């Protein structure tokens, strides 16, 4: 298999490239930035269409996995136009490459941010109307629509994976789970402002990579999109209890009135991914917390600030 992967210096893209290379696949790893120790990534901006096209035509990927772009609503909040350019135009550029080079599979890494939480149905399937509440989420909705349109118009085998809140080793952007663990290990207290009953659709990084790889090779007719989350759906207070069991020194407090009902972020259905991709996240959230805490503790012991996340 020859795979073109964008966002190869990012959390998910880096882990995916590593997994594919370890399995013996050829990988063209692309990102707009490159770490000093990264020998795999080729620096290429998604908006640099000529360079992107040249690299892709030379490599002739059979699979394209788009993990790149603006990776969360906390980034570039004061530059909405740039978010749109990167996440929408960048996706179009990659879809054009897939169309012109004859790639047999296109996987777009979307986000559960597309939902926005305004639902009464429970659990929420993928075919409900979407209510994005941030520019980031709106660009994900637009990109998903483009992926579906290319699939219908040009016969491209493509789908979008609506990935939950990914946690685990090597995450660099803001991560509440990392903050909770790091504070506990360093003897700091943590103040949480979200309600204890607030649902967190966490998923461990290894499980996300499994889902992407299943989507890359699945034989089923694709849905336009799949929810990629843990079936556990823990609340914030349950996650805190997991953490206290692992790190009894954790000093975590809620700043909100626990007696006031929180707006319930919907439970997301995992049935379609189980049916079509043969995927159900195998790592229990409690086990993921244990692994992540152990990783951060080892990094602190080794003095490795670069990998402490």
pLDDT at residue 302 is higher than 90: no
Q: In which band, very low, low, confident or very high, does the pLDDT at 278 lie, cut at 50, 70 and 90?
A: very high
Global pTM reads: 0.93
Q: Report the domain count for the chain.
A: 2
Give pLDDT, residue 305: 46
Whether residues 8 and 135 fall in one domain: yes
Question: Which range marks the domain in which residue 288 is found?
Answer: 167-200+231-266+283-307
Half-sphere exposure of 127 (CA within 13 A, CB side): 4
Query: Is the separation of the CB atoms in 185 and 178 below 8 Å?
Result: no
Whether residues 176 and 218 fall in one domain: no
Whether residues 103 and 194 fall in one domain: no
Whether residues 56 and 179 fall in one domain: no
Q: Where are the alpha helices (DSSP H) in 103-223?
A: 135-154, 176-185, 205-217
Whether residues 176 and 254 fall in one domain: yes
Let me know if residue 291 belongs to a domain.
Answer: yes
Whether residues 86 and 180 fall in one domain: no
Whether residues 122 and 243 fall in one domain: no
**What digits encode the pLDDT tens for the residues 10-66?**
999 999 999 999 999 999 999 999 877 788 999 999 999 999 999 999 999 999 999
Percent of the chain's residues with pLDDT above 90: 74
Let me know if residue 256 belongs to a domain.
Answer: yes
Whether residues 120 and 171 fall in one domain: no
Q: DSSP states of 127-156 as a string? A: TS-----SHHHHHHHHHHHHHHHHHHHH--
Let me know if residue 271 belongs to a domain.
Answer: no
Whether residues 214 and 148 fall in one domain: yes
Nearest-angstrom CA–CA distance, 243 and 252? 10
Percent of the chain's residues with pLDDT above 70: 95
Q: Which helix (H) or strand (E) holds 253?
A: strand 251-254
CA distances from 34 to 8, 39, 44 (A): 8, 9, 10
Give pLDDT, residue 307: 45
Whether residues 249 and 301 fall in one domain: yes
Q: Is the dihedral of CA 165, 171, 176, 180 positive or negative?
A: positive
CATH number where 44 lies = 3.40.50.720
């Amino acid at each position: 298999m020859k795979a073109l992967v964008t966002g190869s210096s990012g959390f998910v893209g880096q882990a995916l490239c590593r997994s594919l290379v370890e399995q013996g696949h050829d990988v063209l790893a692309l990102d707009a930035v490159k770490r000093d120790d990264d020998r795999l990534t080729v620096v290429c901006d998604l908006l640099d269409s000529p360079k992107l096209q040249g690299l892709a035509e030379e490599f002739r990927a059979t699979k394209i996995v788009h993990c790149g772009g603006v990776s969360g609503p906390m980034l570039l909040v004061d530059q909405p136009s740039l978010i749109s350019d990167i996440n929408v135009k960048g996706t179009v550029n990659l879809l054009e490459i897939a169309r012109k080079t004859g790639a047999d599979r296109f996987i777009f890494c979307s986000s559960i941010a597309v939902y926005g939480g305004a639902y009464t149905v429970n659990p929420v399937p993928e075919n409900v109307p979407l209510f994005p509440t941030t520019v980031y989420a709106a660009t994900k909705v637009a990109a998903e629509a483009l992926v579906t349109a290319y699939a219908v118009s040009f016969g491209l085998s493509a789908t979008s994976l609506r990935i939950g809140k990914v946690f685990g080793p090597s995450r660099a952007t803001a991560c509440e789970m990392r903050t909770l663990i790091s504070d506990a290990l360093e003897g700091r207290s943590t103040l949480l402002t979200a309600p204890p009953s607030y649902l967190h659709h966490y998923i461990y990084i290894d499980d996300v990579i499994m889902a992407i790889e299943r989507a890359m090779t699945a034989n089923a007719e694709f849905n336009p999109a799949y929810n990629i989350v843990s079936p556990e759906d823990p609340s914030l207070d349950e996650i805190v209890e997991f953490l206290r069991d692992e790190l009894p020194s954790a000093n975590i407090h809620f700043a909100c009135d626990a007696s006031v009902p929180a707006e319930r972020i919907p439970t997301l259905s995992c049935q379609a991914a189980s049916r079509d991709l043969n995927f159900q996240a195998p790592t229990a959230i409690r086990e993921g917390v244990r692994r992540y805490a152990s990783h951060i503790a080892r990094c602190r012991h080794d003095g490795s600030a670069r990998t402490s996340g």
